[in-house]
Amino acid sequence: GDSVTQMEGPVTLSEEACLTINCTYTATGYPSLFWYVQYPGEGLQLLLKATKADDKGSNKGFEATYRKETTSFHLEKGSVQVSDSAVYFCALSDRWGSQGNLIFGKGTKLSVKP
């Protein structure tokens, strides 16, 4: 079945460091890909998405490019801030599925130190 694998955390960075969180997927068909973020004590928020190959999603300085040839959707940010400390989830959805069910990775906790 479809699955998502993302790098295990926790990841600890200093402020202004570069961030990459790896995400690879296995899917039949043509999935849409998402990054969700969960700040402490809150639910998940959609961070960015890409619906087809070579699409780049971007939001709040974060970017991820849908790479069909490597089945990857790595999350990147050039300069992280303390406020980026959160848990990040990569997810996929079968774009042809009528229910839009999501399959999540296990999450990567990011801590950014001042």
Partner 1 sequence: DVKVTQSSRYLVKRTGEKVFLECVQDMDHENMFWYRQDPGLGLRLIYFSYDVKMKEKGDIPEGYSVSREKKERFSLILESASTNQTSMYLCASSYIGQPQHFGDGTRLSIL
Q: Are 75 and 61 in contact (CB under 8 A)?
A: no
Q: Which is nearer to partner 1, 42 or 69 (CB)?
A: 42
In whole angstroms, how close is the CB of 15 to partner 1 at the nearest point?
26
CA atoms within 13 A on the CB side of 31: 27
Q: Which of 44, 86, 92, 112 is the binder for partner 1 (CB under 8 A)?
A: 44
Residues lying near partner 1 in the complex (CB under 8 A) are found at 34, 36, 41-46, 49, 89, 95, 97-102, 104-107
